[in-house]
Amino acid sequence: MVVLAASVISKSGKVLVSRQFVDMSRIRIEGLLAAFPKLVGMGKQHTYVETENVRYVYQPIEALNLLLVTNKQSNILEDLETLRMLSKLVPEYAYSLDEEGICKTAFELIFAFDEVISLGHKENVTVAQVKQYCEMESHEEKLHKLVMQSKINETKDVMKRKASEIDKSKIEKIRGDKGGFMSLQSMGSGRLESSLSDMSISSSGAGFGSGSGFGLNSDVESFTSKAKGRPPSSATAPPKGFGMQLGKSQRTNQFLESLKAEGEVILEDAQPKAGQSRSAAPPLIDPITLTVEEKLNVMLKRDGGVSNFDVQGTLSLQILSQEDGLIQVQIENGGNPGILFKTHPNMNKELFSNENILGLKDPNRPFPTGQAGEAGGVGLLKWRMQSADESMVPLTINCWPSVSGNETYVSIEYEALLEFDLQTVVISVPLPALREAPNVKQIDGEWRYDSRNSVLEWSILLIDKSNRSGSMEFVVPPVDSSVFFPISVRFSAASTYSGLKVVNILPIRGGPAPKFFQRTHLITENYQVV
């Protein structure tokens, strides 16, 4: 058999889609398709019509005709089998069986026809195989993209650390620049401090930007801390040039609001309000701040099991005053045997292994001081834990898509461990391109549809003992189940796997122990269900 062309035409003879499988001119195929409605109108009740040169094998589909143009030597039984296969594929790819639906999915239909017919001969394929061939999904490609994304995340972390080091070097340079400090002192320390505390200084470049020679906002904070403790100047006139340094313009705010209306997530920098004292920020309350942070990198399988589970933790120290630098930190870990601790090269390893005390090898050397940047202070200790046990995962996700008629019902369920109370949980489910938001039937929490990225976000403010499990159900048009993966999850928690706690701060030269504040949090760096 040789199929010359496969076409979808309207009852009136308008050609919507046509795929030729042999060499023929456009005039010839247009002539053959234009003659078909006249031949059908002769009152014959068959599914084929013959002329002197070709045979038309057709099947009505609502207001359309699915048509095969073959030569007269072809096997009509095989032609009918090919026609039945194409009639099953057209509803699979067309949004609706009318002119608009066929025209919007014209290329998809042509690709499907090519999988069924090759050089005019029928291929031995099924509908499921044709859909699989056209989607061209690759598990190796997905893994490659995940690996590339992890490398990008690592590069971003390195970039943040480098930026923090540059900020610290700027602060140290300004501290050592006596001339610049004396010029600020001549302006009046009282006026500088009151102006900085009453004004909302924008971090987007207005005010003390890099162009004015004063550095970043952290630089201004260092000047404020220097100015404290000195008697204010007798001058009462405010410094010149500060009048135009009040936050962002109205035009910028309108631009951000328009982006929010389109579905974009705008992360604005937190700025101090007027009349609010800068000393109320948590890093400035206590002279010593210790931060325990653990980052989760988890990759779960959609059918159950763990592909990757990695926990990386750090203990960092921030000291505001040089007087508090001669200290040692006594800690207590949770006794988790799967965690491997590693101290900083400048730490006394024997002291840590014997007494769980973190101190420098040279006891006469103080810890460095300064404001905490992106790096969160000076790193003292880091640890890592890896496991293939699914019971260690703080949050498991089960996704159950099922096709029923012209709809796909998707049920998603989460289940959390008893040890962790998870905060600001967001489960992002990728969706196919939709004309409107999905129909959410039931949900424990809140949902938001990002139409630009075609992602459904399921948000739970807090997961504790009252809601260790929850579910969501929504309905979308019929699609393949692989469209809903990978599912991304992000959350934070106030407890960690290591259970590390700071017990006490030990002054090396004796005296009362200084006050300290400890932060502990667990965050997700890359948490996916693939």
Tell me the mean pLDDT in the region 496-515: 87
What pLDDT is stored for residue 267 in this prediction? 55
Residue 333 counted as domain residue: yes
User: What mean pLDDT comes out for the span 262-274?
Assistant: 50
Q: Which of 231-240, 263-272, 410-419 has the lowest mean pLDDT?
A: 231-240
pTM: 0.48
More confident residue, 264 or 208: 264
Residue whose structure tokens are 């048009």:
477
Domain harbouring 468, CATH code: 2.60.40.1170
Neighbours of 491 (CB within 10 A): 22
Q: What is the mean pLDDT of residues 197-214?
A: 40
Whether 162 is in a domain gets the answer: no
Going by pLDDT thresholds of 50, 70 and 90, the confidence category of residue 488 is very high
Question: For position 28, which CATH number holds?
Answer: 3.30.450.60
Q: Which percentage of the chain shows pLDDT scores above 70?
A: 76
Q: How much is the average pLDDT of 236-260?
A: 52
Q: In this structure, are strands 48-50 and 121-122 parallel, antiparallel, or unpaired?
A: unpaired
Of the residues 115, 135, 155, which one is the last residue of a structural domain? 135
Structural domain tally of the chain? 2
Q: Is residue 158 part of a domain?
A: no
Contacts of 317 (CB under 8 A, 6+ apart): 288, 289, 290, 329, 367, 377, 378, 380
Q: What pLDDT, on the 0 to 100 scale, is given for residue 271?
A: 43
261 occurs within a structural domain = no
Q: Tell me, what's the pLDDT at 487? A: 95
Hey, is 126 helix, strand or coil?
Answer: coil
DSSP 239: P
pLDDT (tens digit per residue) in 290-330 = 899 999 999 999 888 899 999 999 999 988 888 888 899 99
Which of 118, 135, 152 is a domain's end point?
135
Q: Which two tokens stand for residue 442?
A: 């039931």
Mean pLDDT value across the chain? 78
| Domain boundary residue, one of 135, 169, 199 | 135
Q: Single out the residue of 359, 364, 363 nearest to residue 329, CA to CA.
A: 359
**Residue 209 lies inside a defined structural domain of this protein:** no
Q: In this predicted model, what pLDDT tens digit does every residue of 4-59 receive, in sequence order?
A: 899 998 888 888 888 888 888 888 888 888 888 888 765 555 688 888 888 888 88
Please say whether the beta carbons of 1 and 69 come within 8 A.
Answer: no
196 in a domain, yes or no? no
The answer to the question of residue 79 being in a domain is: yes
Quick: pLDDT tens for 422-479: 999 999 999 998 888 999 999 999 999 998 889 999 999 999 988 999 999 999 998 8
Banded pLDDT at 209 (limits 50, 70, 90): very low
Q: Is the predicted pLDDT of residue 220 greater than 60, yes or no?
A: no
Structure tokens at 311: 């926990």
Q: Is 81 left (phi over 0), alpha (psi -120 to 50) or beta?
A: alpha
| Residue 268 scores a pLDDT above 70 | no
Q: What pLDDT is recorded for position 251? A: 52
Q: Would you state the structure tokens that stand for residue 363, as one six-digit string?
A: 């006891």
**Helix locations, 41-188, DSSP H:** 76-93, 99-104, 106-116, 127-135, 139-176, 178-187
Position 270 confidence tier, pLDDT thresholds 50, 70, 90:
very low
* pLDDT (mean) for 175-183: 54
Which has more pLDDT, 142 or 407?
407
pLDDT tens-digit map of 62-109: 888 888 899 888 888 888 888 888 888 888 888 788 888 888 888 888
459 backbone φψ class: left, alpha, beta (φ>0; ψ -120 to 50) = beta
Q: Residue 107's domain spans which residues?
A: 3-135
Report yes or no on 370 lying in a domain.
yes
Residues 340-370 pLDDT 10s = 899 988 888 888 888 888 999 888 888 888 6
* pLDDT surpassing 90 at residue 399: yes
Q: What's residue 261's pLDDT?
A: 61
